[in-house]
Amino acid sequence: MVKYYDSNNDGCISYQEFINGLREELSERRTKITEKAFRLLDRSGEGVITASDICAIYDVAKNPDYLNSRLTKQQIL
């Protein structure tokens, strides 16, 4: 996720990078939902999403590659 959204390669995802990574124009309703999702992922509240933010919230337990022992938790994260 960080590699996809992080257009300036600083290791973090800014809100603008997050929005730029979305595929289509957002309605006001979708913008509000997106802002909520960004705040959820931005665990530190610093206005950027870091790899550690994602690791803190993402549970690999249901990931198909983890369930089939193709990848470890660390590889998925």
Q: What is the pLDDT of residue 35?
A: 92
pTM of the predicted protein model: 0.59
Helices (H), strands (E): how many in the chain?
6, 2
Structure-token match 């979305």, residue found: 22
Domains recognised in the chain with CATH numbers: 2-76 (1.10.238.10)
Instruction: Please report the pLDDT score of residue 65 as a whole number.
Output: 94
* Per-residue confidence (pLDDT) for residue 54, from 0 to 100: 85
pLDDT bin (cut points 50, 70, 90) of residue 63 is: very high
Q: What is the pLDDT of residues 12-46, one digit of tens each?
A: 999 889 888 887 777 899 889 989 999 999 988 88
User: What is the number of alpha carbons within 13 Å of residue 52 lying toward its C-beta?
Assistant: 4
Predicted local confidence at residue 32, as pLDDT: 94
Q: HSE of 58 in the Cβ direction (CA atoms, 13 Å)?
A: 19
